[in-house]
Structure formats: structure tokens, C-alpha cells
Amino acid sequence: GVISAGYAAAPAYAAAPAYAAAAAPIEYDPNPHYSFEYSVSDAHTGDQKAQHETREGDVVQGSYSLVEPDGSVRTVEYTADPHNGFNAVVHRQAGAHPAPAPVAVAKVAAPVAYAAAPAYAAAPAYGYKHL
């Protein structure tokens, strides 16, 4: 005969309640203004760079500079506005700074992986006996 195994349908769960997210109103400034600048001069790594930028309404003006690996300084002056789009002019001043010395990197040999010798089980012994 047929043996019946007990079966029950999976329990039904109610959906989690939906909550309306409270969205903060987005503040829009129709005439934004800002100005910022920063610079880095790290003698240890030789990293030297700077940036300055201002915005008056829809017009952004700025520049940034950095010391290239050969010691030259690259300066980029840029503007952006709705009429002309983004425009950049790049200047390069050769030999302005001595090229930074390369950072010494210690060479370390890769670790050698050792594995234990494989273990083998004794070969089976076959035999028979006369009674």
C-alpha cells in the first residue's frame, strides 16, 4: 500500500508594513558661490601639488599644479561656463624642482612553502588458508 508522509503547506506571513519615507526638501541655490584651495608638500615622498577653485553662479575658474617625476611643474588653468563649456590650458615649467629621490623599497624574498612528506598506508596482504 501507499504510506502517507505528513505534509503541511508553508506558513504564510503578512507583508511588512510600508512606511512613507520622510524626504527632506532639496535646497537649490540658483546662484551658487564657493572658493576653496589646498596644497601638499611632502618631503618624504616628494609629492607636491596644489589646487584653487572659485565659483560665481554658473562660472567656475580654477587651477591645479603638480610636480612631475622629472621635476618639472605642470599647471592646469581651467574655466567652465554654460556658454563656452569646459576649457583648460596646460603649462609646463621644466626643471623647477629637483626630481625627488626614489623611495627605497626593501626587497624581501618570498616565503618558501614546505609541505610534509605524504604518508602512505601499508599495502594490503592477501592470502588464503586450507582447512
Q: Can you give the pLDDT at residue 96?
A: 62
Residue ranges in the chain modelled with pLDDT below 50: none
User: Which pLDDT does position 109 carry in this prediction?
Assistant: 77
Q: Annotate 82-119 with b (16+ C-beta within 10 A) or e (fewer).
A: eeeeeeeeeeeeeeeeeebeeeeeeeeeeeeeeeeeee
pTM of the complete model beyond 0.75: no
| pLDDT value for 100 | 57
CB 70 within 8 A of CB 53: no
Reading the block at residue 128, the C-alpha cell is 588464503
